[in-house]
Chain A
Amino acid sequence: MKPESLIVFLPLIVCIVSTGLAVLVPKFSTMLRISIVNAFIVFASSLVLAFLVAVHGRLSCFGNQLFLDHLSALHLVLVTLIFLVGSVYGLWYYSSSEQNDLKSARASRRYGGLWNGFLLLLILVLYANNLGFLWVMVEATTLVSALLILTHQSAASIEAMWKYLLICSVGIAFAFAGTLLVSIAQSASPAASQSHLLWTSLADNAGFLDPNIMLVAFIFVLVGYGTKAGIAPMHTWLPDAHSQTPTPVSAVFSGVMLNCALYAIIRFLPLCEASSGFVGKGRKLMLALGLVSMVIGAIFIPTQKNLKRFFAYCSIEHIGIMCIGIGSGGIGAVAAMLHTIGHALSKSAGFCATGILAKAFGTLDASEISGALKRSPVGGFLFFASILLLCGAAPGLLFFSEFLTCYSLFENEHYSALGLFLITALIIFFGMLWRGIEVTFGSPSPKSIAVALPWFVIVTLCSLVVFAGFGIFVSKPFYHFVVDAGKIIEHGMIITSMRFQ
């Protein structure tokens, strides 16, 4: 084991320790501070890990059962960053909350254990090299996050949790069948016995896998993990679950949990593609489901009154765009990675802003909210900025990723898909902008109250928006890192001679 691989364990150990501490500490505010420290250390170490991956390439440890490459490192940094944001925001959100159901020691312990445990499990999803272990971890995240929906107990949250639990469990059972099919396909390949279901070994020997079994396996996986990722038409749990959770949890759900489920799918895609000699059958399926998600978004986004449901449908649309990017092939995979980053940053800022507006206006109903900019300048600004970014306004990351997606669709001659993409994107653009203008400008209702935000929340959320807005100008190494992650989606490994640089 290389010495740098030892850092791989740091986030795990910190998470385990802080989950234990959070369960032991009876006071809610102390628990929140532990979560912030945890998220901060884990975020810092994930940056170091990403740097190490950029320098040394793939890191592996624990008998090659855990590994980290560009694709997982990119997701790891995002997951830990959004958890840091969620924890910092939570410190303000819960302290100013009028609902007292988290103040008891029992509720505090439960929330702390679930929140930090959720982070631990998401990190393990990204570390997993064994596809069976990946499945176990994704299922475990479902169970933990289901309990997080019940943070504020009400009839609606129970309903949301039941739907989430049942639909995702059934979906993930299908993903398990897909994983088993991969194991059948692998039994014919060399080195099957000592490296059973290891992704690295599968990717290196993908040419030996039976293409037909791999395609069936990919369909199962796409439907299975796709349910958790919120890809239409398996998305029905998503708006309910997102709208019933406390805002920091919604931000994490939308910003990273969906991405982690999509991450599981894109681990299987190169295996399926490489086994059939890159004819693109698996990619076409992703493209088709991505377009369905865009259509669902175009139908429901303009009509949503509840702001959280509005953002939830927006997540379905954006997961759809990522699928379209990956499905179009070529540079589309890089576009999808850029989109993942941009979406995670702007969507979590959007959810946090919604939480601020909900406190100022006492409701989530968009028809009762107007003049947000006057009542809460920071909240209104963040809300409008995140909507602009999510619409794909230039020069945001999402503008570039959507532009690259269009380019990739055009280059690979998916003209009808490009047409449908542009039409639905246009409908969604106007639908979102209309809602954003309605809520942000105008005169506020007299019932609303001014909300004072502490500096740390303002700094955190504004930096998210700034990076999502101008992140593309950051630096060449960042861009190279994203390109390398895209190559892994495309080919299962980094091929230096690939066309897009």
Chain B
Amino acid sequence: MTTNPINTLIVLSVIITLFMLTTSRILVLVRSAAILGVLLGLFPFFIHHGAFSIHTIVLSSLGIIVKGVVIPMLLFRAIRSATNFRETRPHVGFSLSIVCGILITLISFGIGSKIPPSLFLPSETMISLSICITMCGLFLIMARSTALAQVIGYLVLENGIFTFGVSLPTTQSLLVELGILLDLLVGVFVMGIVIHQIHREFDSISTDALEALRE
């Protein structure tokens, strides 16, 4: 069991996700998201037990490039245009965040162990991991006030759902998966544009300034 690379990857991913809940530095957050993307991109190589199809290789390498290199670069550019490097006033404090993160992890692995094995899933730990990462992503979106941290929360959430997709035995068509990657890339690109606009218009990237439209 100890030599199983999948378990090592799962533990590393959980640690990084939890670490992201504790850091206030946006730069560190972007780097962690990149590492998480690369780690999760490695899963397909191990999960199909060495049965590499061209499909798996193309997709995984593209995923690693997009999530580990292209998206972080886009986000770094957005940071350069905005000067606020630190999350100073999060909606949920950092120590409380880590407590919530641990709770989320416990609950997700609890749910994962409850799923009956009849669902043709390769590993229930993968499902637990995907639930954990998705929930942590949602938590980041809600708990942080800077636009950039929220985008990273969205990325983490998307990563969690990707993990879910990877753990499925059935292969989707290449076209669809490429489309999903493209959507993710364009999504972050568009969000980067908005961060730039928010910064220009409000002189900060805190979304707390966005409160004119409400009932």
Instruction: Specify whether A and B are partners.
Output: yes
Neighbouring B residues of A173 by C-beta, 8 Å: 134, 154, 157-158, 161
How many Å from the CB of B185 to the closest CB on chain A?
10
Interface residues of A in 97-149 (CB under 8 A from B): 130, 132-133, 135-137, 139-140, 143, 146-147
Interface residues of A in 311-353 (CB under 8 A from B): none
Residue A187, interface by CB 8 Å = yes
Which of A137, A160, A163, A169 is packed against the most chain B CB atoms within 10 Å? Answer: A169
State in angstroms the CA–CA spacing of A136 and B181 once bound together.
9
Contact A180 B213 (CB under 8 A): no
Given contacts A143-B187, A184-B168, 11 further A-B contacts (CB under 8 A): A132-B180, A136-B182, A153-B197, A154-B201, A156-B213, A159-B210, A162-B198, A170-B141, A184-B170, A188-B120, A196-B170
Residue B51, interface by CB 8 Å = no
Contact A176 B161 (CB under 8 A): yes
Contact B120 A147 (CB under 8 A): no
How many Å from the CB of B52 to the closest CB on chain A?
19
Residue B54, interface by CB 8 Å = no
Residue B1, interface by CB 8 Å = no
Neighbouring B residues of A146 by C-beta, 8 Å: 190, 194
Neighbouring A residues of B186 by C-beta, 8 Å: 140, 143
Contact B170 A170 (CB under 8 A): no
Contact B213 A183 (CB under 8 A): no
Tell me the count of chain A residues lying within 8 A, CB to CB, of chain B: 45
Contact B212 A176 (CB under 8 A): no
A-B residue pairs in contact (CB < 8 Å), sample of 8: A130-B176, A154-B201, A155-B202, A156-B212, A173-B157, A177-B134, A180-B164, A188-B120
Please give me the residue from chain A that is nearest to B178 by CB atom: A136
State in angstroms the CA–CA spacing of A188 and B170 once bound together.
10
The A contact surface, by secondary structure, is: helix
Residue B179, interface by CB 8 Å = yes
Please give me the residue from chain B that is nearest to A159 by CB atom: B210
A residues with a Cβ closer than 8 A to B are: 130, 132-133, 135-137, 139-140, 143, 146-147, 150, 153-156, 158-163, 165-166, 169-170, 173, 176-177, 180, 183-184, 186-188, 192, 196-197, 210, 213, 239-240, 243-244, 300
State in angstroms the CA–CA spacing of A153 and B186 once bound together.
20
How many Å from the CB of B200 to the closest CB on chain A?
9
Contact of A158 among B141, B201, B215 (CB under 8 A): B201
Given contacts A159-B212, A170-B141, A240-B213, contact A136 B157 (CB under 8 A): no
How many Å from the CB of B141 to the closest CB on chain A?
7
State in angstroms the CA–CA spacing of A147 and B187 once bound together.
11
Contact A187 B154 (CB under 8 A): no
How many Å from the CB of B65 to the closest CB on chain A?
19
Contact B194 A196 (CB under 8 A): no
Contact B213 A159 (CB under 8 A): yes
- Top 7 nearest A-B pairs (CB, nearest first) are A136-B179, A132-B176, A159-B210, A240-B213, A139-B183, A187-B170, A158-B197
State in angstroms the CA–CA spacing of A135 and B177 once bound together.
11
Neighbouring B residues of A240 by C-beta, 8 Å: 213
Interface residues of B in 152-196 (CB under 8 A from A): 154, 157-158, 161, 164-165, 168-173, 175-177, 179-180, 182-183, 186-187, 190-191, 193-194
Contact B180 A183 (CB under 8 A): no
Contact B147 A300 (CB under 8 A): no
Neighbouring B residues of A139 by C-beta, 8 Å: 183, 187
How many Å from the CB of B181 to the closest CB on chain A?
10
State in angstroms the CA–CA spacing of A165 and B189 once bound together.
12
Neighbouring B residues of A158 by C-beta, 8 Å: 194, 197-198, 201-202, 210
How many Å from the CB of B135 to the closest CB on chain A?
12
Residue B61, interface by CB 8 Å = no
State in angstroms the CA–CA spacing of A140 and B179 once bound together.
9
Contact B210 A162 (CB under 8 A): yes
Given contacts A159-B212, A170-B141, A243-B213, contact A140 B183 (CB under 8 A): yes
Given contacts A132-B173, A155-B212, A160-B213, contact A165 B194 (CB under 8 A): yes
How many Å from the CB of B91 to the closest CB on chain A?
14
Contact B190 A183 (CB under 8 A): no
Residue B119, interface by CB 8 Å = yes
State in angstroms the CA–CA spacing of A146 and B171 once bound together.
31
Residue B207, interface by CB 8 Å = yes
Given contacts A143-B190, A155-B201, contact A132 B210 (CB under 8 A): no
Given contacts A139-B187, A158-B197, contact A184 B119 (CB under 8 A): yes
How many Å from the CB of A303 to the closest CB on chain B?
8
Residue B138, interface by CB 8 Å = yes
How many Å from the CB of B155 to the closest CB on chain A?
10
Neighbouring B residues of A196 by C-beta, 8 Å: 170-173
State in angstroms the CA–CA spacing of A177 and B201 once bound together.
35
Contact A161 B213 (CB under 8 A): no
Please give me the residue from chain B that is nearest to A172 by CB atom: B183
State in angstroms the CA–CA spacing of A150 and B195 once bound together.
13
Which of A140, A156, A166 is packed against the most chain B CB atoms within 10 Å? Answer: A166
Neighbouring A residues of B194 by C-beta, 8 Å: 146, 158, 161-162, 165
Given contacts A166-B154, A176-B161, contact A187 B175 (CB under 8 A): no
Residue B105, interface by CB 8 Å = no
Contact A184 B120 (CB under 8 A): yes
Neighbouring A residues of B202 by C-beta, 8 Å: 155, 158
Contact A169 B172 (CB under 8 A): no
Residue B13, interface by CB 8 Å = no
